[in-house]
Amino acid sequence: MNDTTLAALFALLTAAIGGPVSVIIRQGQAYGNATTGVLIGLIVSLPLLYGATALLWDPGWWDLDRFGWFVALGLVGPSLGRVFMYQSVHHLGVARAIPLIATLPLTTAVAAFGLLGERPGPYIWAGTLLVVAGCIGITMKDRAGADWDRRFLWYPILSVTGFTAGNILRKVGLNANPSVIFGVTVTYTSSVVFLLLVRRFMPPTHRPDLSWGKKWGFYGVCGLCNTVTFMSRFAATRFGDLTIVAPIFGTSALFALLASWIFLRDLERITWPVAAGAVMIMFGGALVAWRVL
């Protein structure tokens, strides 16, 4: 199995896990705000990551050129990107938030083209544009759908900005140090430190609440699932170009909508524009997968 195939499989695994996890997140509004969810998820995952890093430790990892990229990634990916992703899910619902965040393939492809020198072929660009076209359909408001406010569209935009920057930093960091475990551990540590430092500057309603309660169990499970997704995303990025794996990541919208239809029928209604957009996203990802496999 070649590296490109491995990258595509890891990218598909990322989408398959990440989409349904967003449904779990949707249920977390009763337990705490988005920042609380992100921080608890990171903290719960860290002991396992520290143990794995210690077991696999390589002295060569302790080099600023090797781990500095992952420190920077922690400031924008799990912090900025994930916090606003949670906010998006809470305020827009799974059926709209996750497909909107699926515009990430286009922003990632443009950034990889300009900053990393990647040169995807016409099929890759076509698949990426299909994903974006599907996301445009998702934003169409339908009276029959669940209530939502267009002002909250800023949340997925900020999330995409953070994740795009994170994708570039992740690729550069893995080029310097291909260890997935080490990269995820440093990224998570950086994110926790950053969120703890800035929480006093957040509005009271957005500050993390780390008091003991049911939220630790709920968001802890979410965090562990997200860690598996994050590691799979690292592995996909390690083995393949961003312009190849990012569109496949975007198919998480299909998995999210399917899980939403099964588990959240009382909270979410998947309208025809939403469904049509999801199908376009699916075909865009399938086109990319067909081209590389």
Q: Give the pLDDT confidence of 202-241 residue by residue, as tens digits.
A: 778 778 888 888 889 888 988 899 899 999 999 999 998 9
pLDDT value of residue 143:
43
pLDDT at 187: 92
Residue 58 pLDDT more than 90? no
CA distance 200 to 202: 6
**Higher model confidence: residue 182 or residue 283?**
182
pLDDT of 151 higher than 90: no
- Give the model confidence (pLDDT) of 22-49 as tens digits: 777 767 667 777 788 889 999 999 999 9
Indicate if the pLDDT at residue 142 is higher than 70: no
Report residue 203 as tokens: 């509005």
pLDDT score of 47:
96
What local confidence, expressed as pLDDT, does residue 267 receive?
A: 57
Q: State yes or no: pLDDT of 70 exceeds 70.
A: yes
- Percent of the chain whose pLDDT exceeds 90: 21
pLDDT at 144 over 80: no
Provide the pLDDT for residue 184.
Answer: 93
Are the beta carbons of 165 and 75 closer than 8 angstroms? no
Residue 162: the pLDDT is 87
Domain residues of the chain, as ranges? Answer: 3-292
pLDDT of residue 186: 93
How far apart CA 272 and CA 154 sit, in angstroms, is 23
